[in-house]
A and B are shown apart, each in its own frame.
Chain A
């Protein structure tokens, strides 16, 4: 019982407004994790420096100076929200000396002016100068020029396994002159947020860095992902639940995916929303058109076992047989009959398709010619 009590107390303190259901234990530990990371950073950065004080020690401590230099480029953003489970804060960072700030496009920005607070405590008003609805990013501009900023020309990309730092105002814990929180981690993998069948509930569909620091927390979106030398790698994404593993995903969008769009916004060009949904083909394939009869679809995820093959049809000619279990259609994994039907519809009957089946213990691939 005790861990739960503590969890609840911390949760009440950290997120007074109940957000949507989420794995509580993980979340709270994330929060503590964030706290001790700050401590970690100060230890790595500060202690050897101050204890020894000579030149060589400073070199070992230069993660600390990296953090200090990057902190000056990041901001805490405060705007609309605070009710109905929506947070009123997020993170962002300067990308030009003219006061341009890159952040995520969210309901926090649903006000005429948002408050932007730098790590030196300076408060500024900023307006949204443009958004990219496909990337869900926004560029803000402050009235005052920025004192320090990342340069879009100097962004780098990261390798899997590379050590990184994430800087954000997660949980809105930093206010006023307080610095944003620093988390360390490695790039776990580079993967795509894939829209197919709602795998991800994200508008952005491109590649992301998955990181093993707990950044998927309120307020972290818009934070900077940097390498140990302080170079910008990406921007922390919005809170997202990943459907492949059904977990909250800690990720950042690589800068190479953002730079062109950000430049367009700064140049005053507007970006239209491009539809992402796939269209049903003009002459869609159906099970009947292929000559396949499946076992009765009685479950939510009935496996697509073939119950009968209509003679002289495409399926028959290709060599599909009764009791084959269809696993892949055109290299797309189909886990149920309903999914197979949907996928069939996206492909025109005139096109050649491939079907991979399991027959007993064997896997067999068949190619079905177009009509």
Chain B
């Protein structure tokens, strides 16, 4: 209490009452707050003149009780509104004045003009002093152009050269050091104080003026955002104050403003959601806890575990481990396929999201403890999280399998593949893989996907003569070449017919249709979704072109056309998911035989759409698409993998190289004469063979 500015008790009540008004009107809570306010006013009868103790922070609960006191206060005060706003303003000002000296303006010189295709503003930015001897924390966002020189305007008005000592990539922060003879003023921190949702928060920045801070007043909206890494506020947070402090009403630093990527919360570039009522600050506590490491020049990265779970949707559970990415911290921790993760850190894990929240604030190099249940026994495991998980390359045996009586019956063995070399034969049934039971081709696929490359895999197979033959073989990585066309496992049925269905797309005005073979109603089908060049699609020509493939191979071939005849819009990338969803409703679609193809400008759309649907598709191909700006960053992972085929001019080779570095099987198909507007110019045989080869194990 002693740290508070000198205001009488009454002031706190007024302030808190306003807090309530703001908290309760938050967006959609209006009706609730109305009834709350009315209810409180009723309770207020008999409350009398009692005033509660002043509170440093106004929680919703505090505010609720204090609202009552304010109601009574009115009878004592002559002109409460004027006084209220004056007191309130004085409180904001006192808080700002206290912290303002610790906020510095940062100027950068030189560097790249554009980052990720966006022009970088070269105006001044903001930093917050965290060490008397010249340590300043700021947002990484302010240095993304990699400036040649950095200056800091110090509180005494002088300028000093600064250098970036270390970066916290997990929290988007940069630590600067300036050489200064004078000792810099340190901000008060709200360390140890409980920051509560609903309390006032003021965001300070120095972009506009090196002598005065800009201020935006709001409240704390939520804690533990962005997987436990950020405080959320409705004060306006934007490039004008990234790097500045978020302070409380006592002028103490609560956090450092930063454009935190919210991951699953919002799509898009984090810097694009500025000033939106959703702003973030890294808890000052977390900054200070890492200060020593940063001062020593150690960069901080988000810690990665590398555990592979069956679920990809983070709201699903329980969290069953399928395996660990070879070489990852999870693999070293001893976690095994079949384990159930039940706790992590100090929290219970029921959904994948719980695990992600526990992992979020942990840095690479730090220990992460988690508990698994294995066969009824709880085991505590520990992993030292890593900055990166080793690049994963898609695994390959060279066979195809079908369900058979609680196993995977081999239906095809590819020439000169690990499967052939080990002598596997068509008709054999795989029942076990590395001591784990194999009940379906899908299970076999999963086991092979996480197998180590240099450790032989032991398959137990049932042959014509033996019921449990053990075959040992080395798993290879997925071959880059297009497979030579293998014959369909069943003879082509001349009675198969096709029909064309129009697909309704809900609120999208686009047209979509699918060519469906009659086999689709009986067995699982492959699915190819085509995003063509913008404009009308000649449907008879399209269906005619794909008909034999659909019939012979049991694939559904669907397309959708653009709403605008000249271009695709980014939001239309959602259509790929829509089309797949529509067809899933009516047919059994095999995800290991589902692919997206983009022609010309539709190629970029296919890539964007595929990223959104990684759990439902196995491959993406683009034909004569512009790939120079390909910006795929997600590395390959065992159970969310894709295969790529890029056909077109020379740029396809470079694009494939980039994806291979991320571990993906990417195949270039140089075809300079390819015309995305003319179906007959497509290298159809190679395309078909690539599609057919997608579901190999």
Contacts and interface: CB of A to CB of B under 8 A. Distances in A.
A163 B212 contact: no
B392 to A, nearest CB: 25
A325 B149 contact: yes
Interface in B220-238: 235-236, 238
Contacts of A188: 208, 214-216, 236, 240
Given A43-B25, A47-B37, A162-B89, A191 B266 contact: no
B273 interface: yes
B269 to A, nearest CB: 9
Contacts of B213: 189
A32 interface: yes
Nearest to B72: A56
A343 B46 CA distance: 72
Interface string B462-497: 000000000000000000000000000000000000
Contacts of B265: 3
Residue of A25, A33, A299, A334 with most chain B CB atoms under a 10 A cut-off: A25
Interface in A347-371: 356, 358, 361-363
B110 A25 contact: no
A185 B234 CA distance: 11
Contact of A336 (B110, B123, B218): B110
B21 A43 contact: yes
Interface in A9-61: 9, 23-26, 28-30, 32-33, 36, 39-40, 43-44, 47-48, 51-52, 56-57, 59-60
Contact of A212 (B108, B217, B273): B217
B353 interface: no
B240 A247 contact: yes
B208 A210 contact: yes
A301 interface: yes
Interface string B166-210: 000000000000010000000000000000000000000001110
Given A25-B268, A212-B236, A361 B89 contact: no
Interface stretch (B75-83, B429-437, B587-595, B679-687): B75-83
Nearest to B160: A363
A358 B151 CA distance: 9
Interface in B68-116: 70-71, 74-75, 77, 79-82, 84-85, 88-89, 92-93, 96, 107-113
Interface in A145-181: 160-163
B33 interface: yes
B121 A243 contact: yes
Contacts of A29: 273, 276-278
Contacts of B151: 327, 358, 363
B502 interface: no
Interface in B111-149: 111-113, 118-125, 148-149
Interface of B: 21-22, 24-28, 30, 33-34, 37-38, 41, 70-71, 74-75, 77, 79-82, 84-85, 88-89, 92-93, 96, 107-113, 118-125, 148-149, 151, 159-161, 163, 179, 207-209, 212-218, 235-236, 238-240, 265-268, 272-278, 507, 571, 574, 577, 612
12 contacts: A26-B274, A30-B276, A36-B27, A36-B30, A59-B79, A161-B89, A186-B216, A188-B214, A243-B123, A245-B238, A247-B239, A303-B109
Given A186-B216, A247-B240, 10 more contacts: A24-B272, A25-B268, A40-B25, A47-B34, A63-B81, A229-B82, A247-B121, A301-B113, A358-B149, A363-B159
Interface of A: 1, 3-5, 8-9, 23-26, 28-30, 32-33, 36, 39-40, 43-44, 47-48, 51-52, 56-57, 59-60, 62-63, 160-163, 185-186, 188-189, 191, 199, 210, 212, 214, 228-229, 242-248, 250, 299-303, 305, 325, 327, 333-336, 356, 358, 361-363
Leading 5 A-B pairs by shortest Cβ distance: A244-B123, A56-B74, A303-B110, A246-B121, A29-B276
